[in-house]
Amino acid sequence: MLDILEIQKLLPHRYPLLLVDRVTEMELGKSIVAYKNISISEPAFMGHFPGHPIYPGVMILEGLAQAGGILASKSSKLSKEELASKVIYFMSIDKAKFRAPVKPGDQLVYKVEVDRIKGAVIALITKAYVDDKLCAQAEMKAMMVDI
């Protein structure tokens, strides 16, 4: 549904912190499914952990947040010009849990649902999977603000 070039138009992140490779499903104002292919060449694996590479939980949360940012941007009623002067800041991450390790060669699937929208604040329920196995989850809140 969205490839990397379209994602880069929505997110300010770039390598090595752009953590969404593709969006495969999206229902505006409701949900998004996106993924990140995890490669041994990820910079995080140089130190996490040598000889036992595990993708850091904080990177999984950041990827979920980016998927949520894409959903919030696309769900807003703002024009492309108006969106160009905005950025989405995450306000909170609550109830984060890590259920299974993510390793090189895995495809991390981000599933994000809108819990509620109140003004400029969006509350999200986020989950990350590998092969349909839940790896991480969290509740997040974000706000779209002027740059």
Tens-place pLDDT, residues 70-116 = 999 999 988 889 988 999 999 999 999 999 999 999 999 999 999 99
Domain of residue 20, CATH code? 3.10.129.10
pLDDT bracket for residue 64 (50, 70, 90): very high
Does the reported pTM lie above 0.95?
A: yes
Domains identified in the chain, total number: 1
Respond yes or no: is residue 52 known to be catalytic.
no
Radius of gyration of the chain (CA): 15
Q: Spell out where the chain has E strands.
A: 22-27, 31-37, 86-98, 107-118, 121-130, 133-146
Asked if 39 and 22 count as a contact pair (C-beta separation under 8 A), the reply is no
Of 13, 22, 48, 103, the active-site residue reads 48
| Residue ranges making up the domain that contains 108 | 4-146
